[in-house]
Structure 1
Amino acid sequence: MAKFGESDDLAGAEFVGANLRGARFVESDLSGVVMRGIDLQGADIDAPWIVEPGGSLKVNGVEVSGYVEDELNRRFPGRAERRAKDPDGLRAAWAAVERTWATAIDRVATMPSGTADGSVDGEWSFAQTLRHLVHAIDLWIGRSVLEREDFHPLGLRYGVEGSPDHPPYAEVLEVHASRFGLVRDFIATVTPAELDTARKNPHNANPKTTRSCLHVILEEAWEHYRFATRDLDTIAAS
């Protein structure tokens, strides 16, 4: 099976009569791709950014990103509030995140032993997803907003495995709860002026505001909840 990676530049490539049945695209840039006369039966697209402001996805000339956004909000009550602007709205949005994740954690507790460390199709396990949220909060709230330099060693970031690879799940739950509490405590007293305060962007030179840092965390929490519960459904079905 042919495999292409970051070193392969396929930008602008043209596939005519090509057989891509069963092909898998992971963390690949398909923006602006044009498909004509193709067979998409059974295709599964998971692209969080198509519903971002200005995002677009057309199927047979129909803009479907709005439909996708509305359906996701229907499936996940509270998700629609993730871009709240004011302190009260952000507090309500984060409370919804905490309730939602608590339900998922309770669900895992009722499933067979080892479920939290189970991977589906090479995706992060439930425990690894919790660890990634720890890292995301350390990055966007701890470093950008609170100007702390320390990162919890169990945090997991893209492209780099944490250490140890499979820490006890109880420890993961403990640090995850502490980081969710960090966000809750910060939002509890945040003021409108603080929300507008410029913060250092951890990825580039473009500054963020406190509000936009919180929006990143809310987005991360909802998208990874969707990924995690999708895989829990698969595990449960099998």
Structure 2
Amino acid sequence: MTTYSGTNEFEWASFVRASFKGATLRFSDVSGVTMRSVDVDGLDIDSHDLFFGSLFVNGVDVVPLVDAELNRQFPGRELQKAQTPEGLREGWVAVQAAWRETVAGTPRELVDAHVADEWSLAETLRHLILATDAWLRGGILRVEQPFHEIGQIFTGAARMGFDMSIFRAEAPTYQEILAVRAERQQLVTDFLATATPELLAEERANPWGGDDWRPSVGDCIRVILEEEWAHLRYVKRDLALLA
């Protein structure tokens, strides 16, 4: 299989009577791609950014339909967009209950298993530790160095200049992951317990840098909820394949 990495040679190209059967695209920009008279049987698209734009199939924007279906499959997911302290608290309770069920129901031999280049359950839990550290400890609480050493950072962070020395080289045990994860979950629970509309409206700096967006405290919590629901979906998808 030929691999094209870090290339922009296909931007604005036209492909006529070409075959991409079985091809895989990862971390690639396909925005604005137009497809006409194409065979899409079995086409599998997974994009966390789907809900920030549009996707037209036969002239119909399917993004709202996908969003509604995921809300049906994951009760409480719609509260990731809540604007009130009460809504965010309810949303946090719902996603944590869903995670408890998934973690408890996963056989021990599968916690480190993964599909292709996707993260395992253990790695996903480590990433959620990092997400909480970034958006609660870093973004909201403004802790100077908010990250736990077992956090799992996103792919490409080193190329972006992130200081990877923060993180431990050797992999933690699953029990350590569960313990740190529980601590971070409790931090969010405790913060939301006393959150007020005034606090949620306060402005913060983007914990990942840049001045193009200055999130509110509520925005930071909503990012945490989005991360929790998105990665729960990924894990359940992959565990179903592994099982």
2:37 and 2:226 map into 1 onto residues whose CA distance is 34
Matched, 1:177 2:186: no
Correspondence for 1:226: 233
Correspondence for 2:160: none
1:194 aligned to which of 199, 208, 217: 199
Q: How many Å apart are 1:17 and its aligned residue? A: 1.4
Alignment deviations for residues 49-87 of structure 1 (CA, whole Å, 9 cap, x no partner): 2223xx211111122111111110000011011110011
Q: How many Å apart are 1:166 and its aligned residue? A: 3.1
Correspondence for 2:20: 20
* SS of corresponding position for 1:70: helix
Q: 5+ unaligned residues in a row in structure 1: which ranges? A: none
* SS of corresponding position for 1:171: helix
1:26 and 1:150 map into 2 onto residues whose CA distance is 29
Correspondence for 1:77: 75
Runs of 4+ in 1 over 6 A off after TM superposition: none
- RMSD of the alignment, in Å? 1.4
- What is the aligned-residue identity percentage? 41
Correspondence for 1:37: 37
Correspondence for 1:107: 105
The 5 A counterparts of 1:142-157 are 142-148=137-143, 149-157=145-153
* SS of corresponding position for 2:111: helix
Alignment deviations for residues 158-189 of structure 1 (CA, whole Å, 9 cap, x no partner): 12585345321011111111111111110110
1:158 and 1:225 map into 2 onto residues whose CA distance is 16
1:216 aligned to which of 218, 223, 229: 223
Distance change >3 Å, CA 14–CA 165, structure 1 → 2: farther
Asked if the contact 2:85/2:196 (under 8 Å) is kept, the reply is yes
TM-score normalised to the size of structure 1?
0.93
2:12 and 2:80 map into 1 onto residues whose CA distance is 35
Q: 5+ unaligned residues in a row in structure 2: which ranges? A: 158-163
Asked if the contact 1:117/1:166 (under 8 Å) is kept, the reply is no
